Amino acid sequence: MGSGIVQVSAQAGFSVLFVEANDELVKRGLGRLRDTLEGLTAKGKLEAKARDEALGRIAGTTKLEDLKACDLVIEAMTENQALKNETFATLDRIAAPHALLASNTSSCNVTALAAVTRRPARVLGMHFFNPVPLMKLVEVVRTILTEDAAVQTATEFVRAVGKVPVQAKDATAFIVNRLLVPYLLDAVRVYEGGLASLDDIDQAMKLGCGYPMGPFTLLDLVGLDTAMYVAEVMFEEFREPRYAPPPLLKRMVMAGHLGRKTGRGFYTYDTK
Ligand code: 3HC
């Protein structure tokens, strides 16, 4: 998702600096963005000049300190509250006092992120959807500590990158995942119970409800580990059985079948 956020921001005219864990990942990230934008040009969807300008606005680094000149930092790390808390505390020391610190989290506690900083009024959630360049929605998530001006700026940024903002409170899973995750978990349960085949469940929900993807295609896209993590956090928060990850989902994650990113989830993919 980080790569998608970089792409849409650079295409919208913002200078973007992304941080990766090591040089190899920086190189890979830049290569992937170049391939994506070149692919769009080859398809006639992006002019060569716009492609080159967008690529010229993107830089990568491995040092969080390099973010000190940024006005907005969007964190898109793995869904791990402790890791995010630690990162926000560090970012707070690095970023300019006026800078907004946002998280692309789908399930972590944004209030907890705000609380580890000295700028809780300028910490909020900006939840994009997968795949970022194609999905129009961003949930702008405010905590009880977020100031109106920060929400306003984040909302303007979302519109500037061509997305549609909706506002939600910092309550676990916000709007979309609160409704989507129980549906995905139920799909796994009915498959596990032997109701129908994967293909038929996917086909049924696509053609019967007009959804763009069936639940298993979507789980593979989102990542089974991400879906399970979100479900666990929701279960922890609400203690309702419908949010508990079903046994099959847990075992697939244990087996490393995480979806498209590992080449195998409910379906298999050509990793090339
Ligand atoms: N930038 C710009 N354009 C791109 C692109 C990129 N990086 N990658 C692909 N495209 C273009 C392609 O060139 C293609 O254009 P073309 O049709 O002119 O050739 C177009 O986008 C997509 O074409 P596809 O045929 O692959 O796409 P579909 O029409 O099948 O739509 C989809 C794909 C938008 C992913 C649709 O299937 C969909 O909406 N699926 C549901 C996704 C969803 O529900 N996401 C939410 C997941 S939940 C989540 O993210 C929350 C998280 O916190 C867990």
What value does the mean pLDDT take over residues 182-186?
A: 98
Q: Tell me what pLDDT residue 21 has.
A: 95
Q: What secondary structure letter does DSSP report for 136?
A: -
In the chain, the domains with their CATH numbers are 2-169 (3.40.50.720), 177-262 (1.10.1040.10)
The pLDDT > 90 percentage for the chain reads 97
Alpha carbon of 16 to ligand 1 centroid (Å): 22
Q: Is the pLDDT of residue 236 over 90?
A: yes
Cβ–ligand 1 distance for 179 under 6 Å, the answer no
What value does the mean pLDDT take over residues 70-84?
A: 95
Q: To the nearest 10°, the Cα dihedral for 167, 169, 173, 177?
A: -30
Counting from 1 in the atom list of ligand 1, the atom nearest the Cα of 40 is: 13
Cβ–ligand 1 distance for 146 under 6 Å, the answer no
> Which pair of tokens denotes residue 98?
């006026």
Is residue 231 within a helix (H) or strand (E), and if so which, with residue range? Answer: helix 224-238
Beta strands in the chain (DSSP E): 16-19, 58-61, 72-75, 100-103, 123-127, 137-142, 164-169
Question: Tokens 């697939």 sit at which residue?
Answer: 252
Q: Tell me what pLDDT residue 270 has.
A: 86
Q: Is the pLDDT of residue 271 over 80?
A: no
pLDDT tens track for 166-176: 999 999 999 99
Q: Is the pLDDT of residue 207 over 80?
A: yes
- Phi and psi (nearest 5°) for 40? -65, -35
Counting from 1 in the atom list of ligand 1, the atom nearest the Cα of 46 is: 2
Residue 15 annotated as catalytic:
no
Q: Tell me what pLDDT residue 55 has.
A: 98
Cβ–ligand 1 distance for 36 under 6 Å, the answer yes
Catalytic residue among 106, 107, 109, 257: 106
> What predicted TM-score, i.e. pTM, was given to this entire model?
0.93
Query: Residue-wise over 227-239: b if at least 16 C-beta within 10 A, else e?
Result: bbbbbbbbbeeee
Nearest CA to ligand 1 atom 26: 134
- What Å distances lie between residue 173 and 15, 213, 231, 265, CA to CA? 30, 21, 9, 23
Question: Which ranges of 129-223 does DSSP label H, i.e. alpha helix?
Answer: 148-160, 176-192, 198-209, 215-222
